[in-house]
């Protein structure tokens, strides 16, 4: 009788704590800095909706790809293309590839300064040639710097403005160069331009500044595949699109 009571008691305790235990399931997430602000707003809504927690690690847009290629383990990784080494490593499942949103390049000036016309490639080219100094992230360091470098090369002004280019380590540092008067213009992702002291002029014309995909993958070493998929589904759901748009990201759809 005593043993029977013990089994009943243990079963009752398990029934009571099992929902809480499920709520403690943790999904590890690797994400690039260019979408840090957006994810910081979105992730708190994931746990109440699914019962899963998220432990997020942020890294550089280029560095996160190297982290996966080296074998660092995260249940879900958000990467910015291209990422051939990460795919070749076998650490992420290519079938799980899900585009969440798109990053777009923008141009900003010091707050209160005249805003140049950048509505067409030719207008942007003239604005860049007229500027004394142009700040953007070192393309060897940051993904937005690489995107800016490629856009300027495609526009045909990279060599012409090389002598008046000021490279930095982060988009914020580029903005600070403009605020301090060390540069007339800065170029980086539009969603990162919510920095006091600069005014956003607008996005660069899409003919040469292609939107950069923000892509999620589930790890081949995933701890809980169901929880990982729930996170990817949440970040790619139609209800999240408004949040991406509000942060100047283009929804994937």
- 231-235, Cβ contacts within 8 angstroms, sequence gap of 24 or more: 231/27, 231/29, 231/46, 231/50, 231/52, 231/54, 231/75, 231/76, 232/76, 232/96, 232/98, 234/45, 234/46, 234/49, 234/50, 235/42, 235/78, 235/100
Query: Residue 155: its pLDDT value, please?
Result: 94
> Tell me, what DSSP letter sits at residue 219?
B
- Which structural domain range is residue 240 located in? 2-102+212-251
In this predicted structure, the answer to whether residue 50 has a pLDDT above a threshold of 70 is yes
Q: Give this prediction's pTM.
A: 0.83
90 with 157, same domain?
A: no
**Nearest-angstrom CA–CA distance, 190 and 35:** 11
116 with 199, same domain?
A: yes
Q: What is the pLDDT of residues 72-119, one digit of tens each?
A: 999 999 999 999 999 999 999 999 999 999 999 999 999 999 999 999
156 with 191, same domain?
A: yes
195 with 229, same domain?
A: no
- Domain at 38, CATH number: 3.40.190.10
119 with 171, same domain?
A: yes
**109: helix, coil or strand?**
strand
Query: Residue 161: its pLDDT value, please?
Result: 96
6 with 91, same domain?
A: yes
Q: What is the pLDDT of residues 122-159, one digit of tens each?
A: 999 999 999 999 999 999 998 899 999 999 999 999 99
**Nearest-angstrom CA–CA distance, 29 and 69:** 15
In this predicted structure, the answer to whether residue 231 has a pLDDT above a threshold of 80 is yes
122 with 146, same domain?
A: yes
10 with 86, same domain?
A: yes
Q: Are 155 and 239 in contact (CB under 8 A)?
A: no
Number of residues assigned to the chain: 253
**Number of domains observed in the structure of the chain:** 2
In this predicted structure, the answer to whether residue 2 has a pLDDT above a threshold of 50 is no
Query: Residue 24: its pLDDT value, please?
Result: 62
């Amino acid at each position: 009788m005593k043993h029977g009571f013990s089994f009943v008691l243990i079963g009752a305790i398990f029934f009571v704590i099992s929902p809480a235990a499920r709520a403690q399931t943790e999904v590890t997430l690797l994400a690039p800095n260019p979408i840090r602000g957006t994810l910081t707003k979105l992730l708190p809504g994931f746990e109440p909706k699914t019962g899963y927690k998220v432990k997020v690690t942020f890294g550089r847009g280029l560095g996160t790809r190297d982290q996966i290629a080296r074998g660092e383990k995260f249940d879900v990784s958000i990467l910015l293309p291209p990422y051939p080494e990460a795919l070749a490593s076998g650490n992420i499942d290519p079938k799980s590839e899900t585009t969440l949103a798109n990053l777009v390049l923008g141009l900003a000036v010091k707050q209160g300064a005249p805003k140049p016309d950048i509505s067409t490639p030719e207008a942007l080219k003239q604005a860049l040639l007229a500027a004394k100094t142009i700040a953007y992230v070192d393309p060897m360091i940051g993904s937005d710097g690489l995107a800016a470098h490629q856009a300027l090369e495609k526009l045909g002004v990279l060599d012409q403005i090389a002598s008046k280019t000021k490279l930095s380590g982060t988009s914020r540092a580029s903005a600070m160069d403009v605020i301090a008067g060390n540069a007339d213009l800065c170029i980086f992702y539009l969603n990162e331009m919510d920095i006091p002291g600069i005014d956003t002029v607008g996005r660069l014309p899409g003919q040469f500044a292609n939107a950069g995909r923000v892509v999620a993958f589930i790890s081949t070493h995933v701890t809980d595949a169901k929880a990982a998929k729930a996170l990817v589904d949440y970040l790619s759901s139609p209800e999240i699109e408004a949040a991406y748009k509000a942060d100047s990201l283009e929804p994937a759809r």
